[in-house]
Structures are given as C-alpha cells and as structure tokens.
Amino acid sequence: MRTSLTNCTSHLIQDGDLPQIEIPNESDQRFSVLSFEQVKRLSDLMRSVIPIHGRGNFPTIDVKLCDLVTKVRWKLETDYNIHVKDIRLNGSRASSVLVDELISYNDLDLIFSVDLPNNKAYDRVKMAVLDTLIELLPEGVSRKRMSSCSMKEAYVSKMVKVNDSDRWSLITLGNSRSKTVELKFVDSMKRQYEFSVDSFHILLDTLFLFYQCAPSMEISENFYPTVVGESKYNDFSDALTHLCKKLIATRNPEEIRGGGLLKYCSLLVRNYKPVRADEVKSMERYMCSRFFIDFPDISQQQAKLENYLWNHFASTEDPQIKYDYLIILYQVVNESTVCLMNHERRLTLSLIEDLAMSIYNNSQIDYSDNSDTCSTTSSSSNCSLKQLSIPHPPPTSSPSPTQLQPSTNGTTMIPTYEIVTSVQPTVYYSSNNGYYFVSSASPPLQSTGPCMTCSCNQWANTITVTNGQQQSSNPVCS
C-alpha cells in the first residue's frame, strides 16, 4: 500500500522550503500514475552516476543525475531569480522507465519549465548551468581560473535558443558521441513529440520531494511517492500500448519538423509496424512533402541525412541495420514522394543509394581485413560474420529497390525528439518556423561563415530567430 506524502508536503510548505506541487487530474487521459516498478526504475535512474566528459584535458565530471538536476534548479531560482514550474524526464529514457525492456538511448533528456520573457532570461539560464558545472568539478581541480566561457568550451556540445513563436533553449552537456545530458528550458513549444512512442514526459517534482523528505530511505512497495506520467500524444494508455507492441502512430505529421520521415524509417528498421495499415501511404506522403519543404536543396538533404546517421546509429553498431535503414528510406521516398519533379526525386534517391553503397563497401573492406585471422568455421567470439548478411545495394537502373527485410539484430531504440543534433557543431539555418538543426563535425561539412572567437556574453554555436528573421551569433568552427 502506498504511503502518502501529504503530511511531509504540508510541513515543508509551512516552513517555506518548497512551493506546493500540483498533481494533475488522473481522470485526464493524457496522464497516468506510475506503478511501483516504474517508480523504482525512475529512482534508480535518477540516483545513478552519469559522466559528463570534457574536451582535451578537462576532467570528467561524475555526478548523480538527481544532484545535477537539484543544483541546476537551485542556481536558477536562488542566484538568477528564474522560477522553475516543474521538471520532466522525456525521450527514450522516459520510455525505458515505463516498460520493462532494455531501450538503448543517445542522451538523457530533461525539461525545465520556465519563463523566458527576453534575451536576458536566456543568458541567465546559460550562466546557471555553467556555474553548476564549475561547482561539480572534481576535488583537487583549481576553480580560480575556471570561467563560464572555458566551461562552455569544455563541457557543452550544443547550445540553441529559439525565441520566435516558440520560446525555449537547449544546452547539451558532454562531448562523448553518445550518452550526453540534454537540458531543455521551455517557455513554450508547440510540438513536443513526433510519434506516440516518444511522447512521454515523467514529472519529477514529487520524486525530488520524496528525496528531501526521506533522503536516506529507500523506495519500497509500501512507501513510494506518487509520480505522474504524461503523453503529449494526448492518450497515455494508447501511447503506452504502442510502445509495448512496437507500433507507429502520430498525429498531423505535416506539423513535424522534417515530417518525422527519418525517425519513421528508424522505427521501421527496428521492426515497428504502423497502427493503421490503410493510412500508411497517406501518412508517408505527408512526411515526404514536409521533409522536402524543410530541406529543398540536395546539399541540405545530404547534411541532414548524414547527421542523422551519425547521431542515431552508433559507430560500434552492426552496419547491417544502418544499411537496412537506408534501403527502407529509399523505398519510402521512391514510392511516396509526390511533391518533387522527377529529376529532383532522382537526385535524392541517388544520394540515399550512394550512402548505402558506401556502407556496403566499407563493411566488405572490414570483413576482408578480418578474414586473414578468422575463418568462416571459426568459433571465436572475436570473429564476426554479420557483414556477410548485407544484401547488394538497390540497382541504379531500376526506379524502385528490391524489397528487403530489415535486420532483427539491432537493440530496441526509441528515438528521442531532437531538433538539433551534433557533436562539434556548425550552425545552419533551416526553417522559417523557429526550428533549427546543428550539424556535426563528422562527417565534415562546409562552414557557413567565418570562424569567430568565443565570447562569454554570447551564445556560441547558435542561431537566433526573432520575428522570422535570421540573426547569427558567433559560431565556433571546429
């Protein structure tokens, strides 16, 4: 039987330690109260130690996730007078909390609901995060020479602010290719998900209240906090069913940045199936149309696709799934694109085919290099024959590729809702609706502007949109 925290909450409110926490109405189909097993997985995640890797010789910061969140919130509210309405976990880690299944992830996504009325508020948010990083540096590291600018260069891989119709900022901590921490500070954001399986938000405030009330007490089946989850898909039960049964569903894909096309194919290659088979073609046409509206130029398409492969398919992952992904994307674009002229469609298909050929050829080279030491009859665990299962690329003479079934060897992955993706970013403006993407340093891309020196008073690696007009800050060229 769950024990209520009402008495503890009342005591803290009377003492002025914490604001009142409002529990959403459980009868609203968007929300659901988490079970003990789900709360336990959430608590284990929040109490786990995460590494924040620095560039160069800057030390790795090892910190409990709950401590990082607490310190950032304290800095915002105490030092910079920014009220945090609530804190949420979303993305693939939120999905992994809700289902008893190992789901791979690229980053931890945390949302702080705040007011961002002007540019000064964005700068205060940035300074609060950087001040927190300075305090979290390992013991023995001198903080006297540490400035916010040096911390930004060492530990921040992405910074974005959007102040057009949407108002939010993103700061990504860590310079490892994967397992970064994304802190998103949101005033308003119209579309916060692409598909139902990545629409989950888990409200963390009651869990942190539990930690403050009983810091030394472990969560048990008889005593654990009430934690509420929300689905931005607007039906929590349906979205959870889609997640458990690996189903694809969305609403109004034409409203999604890029149409959700790349993520849709990523779900397909991991054996997700559309909920409504009779609506697949219509949905795919909307996705393709929005993708080519947002990325009309072949160079933009190449940059977006290469960055997606770089960020969502780990370098150590079997090349089979990456190749299968491109084959599925080829099929969808070939069969469902209705907004392009024939020569434009052929250019895009040739781009996808070239990338698939590159992966195919590289996998054959890797296998050839390994064949000197491994035979096809070897039982050694170091010998891999997965490259042999890669099918031949789609023929250039045929308008549509051979129908290929995706590999089933990949780990289940619920892609996160990413508006920007990069490691060492160069900034590209790509839309008139306030959304951006940031390209990675690898694969290399041409710089869009001159290399500028860093300034502590500016947002590095960002573009700001104000009233629909592009305003570039100083990008740091990698």
d(CA 219, CA 197): 27
**Could you report the per-residue pLDDT of 62-98, keeping only the tens digit for each?**
999 999 999 999 999 999 999 999 999 998 899 999 9
pLDDT value of position 23: 65
Strand partners, 52: 61
38, two tokens: 């789900």
375, two tokens: 């035979």
- Beta carbons of 120 and 94 less than 8 angstroms apart: no
d(CA 10, CA 295): 53
**Could you report the per-residue pLDDT of 191-214, keeping only the tens digit for each?**
999 999 999 999 999 999 999 988
DSSP alpha helix (H) spans, 104-257: 119-136, 148-155, 205-213, 236-245
Instruction: Report the run of H or E that residue 269 belongs to, with start and end.
Output: helix 261-269
- Beta carbons of 336 and 284 less than 8 angstroms apart: yes
Residue 25 DSSP class: P
pLDDT value of position 421: 33
- Beta carbons of 253 and 287 less than 8 angstroms apart: yes
pLDDT value of position 319: 82
pLDDT value of position 92: 87
Q: What is the mean pLDDT of each run of 10 residues along the chain (478 residues)?
A: 44 47 73 95 95 91 96 97 96 91 79 95 96 94 87 92 91 80 95 94 96 89 94 94 95 92 95 93 95 95 92 72 95 94 94 94 63 38 38 45 41 37 33 36 41 40 42 37
- Could you please report the per-residue DSSP string of 277-328? GGGHHHHHHHHHHHHHHH--SHHHHHHHHHHHHHHHS-TTS-HHHHHHHHHH
pLDDT value of position 311: 79
d(CA 279, CA 276): 5
Sign of the dihedral through C-alpha 440, 441, 445, 449: positive
Peptide bond into 319 cis (omega under 30): no
**Beta-strand runs (E) in 343-410:** none
Domain ranges of the chain: 6-246+416-472, 248-389
pTM for the complete prediction? 0.74
pLDDT value of position 318: 73
43: number of Cβ within 10 Å: 20
- Beta carbons of 156 and 150 less than 8 angstroms apart: no
d(CA 261, CA 263): 6
Peptide bond into 274 cis (omega under 30): no
Distance (Å) of CA 338 to CA 305, 328, 332: 20, 17, 11
SS3 (DSSP) at 184: strand
How distant is the alpha carbon of residue 82 from its chain centre?
25
469, two tokens: 């007009």
Query: For residue 379, what are the contacts with CB-CB under 8 A and spacing of at least 6?
Result: none
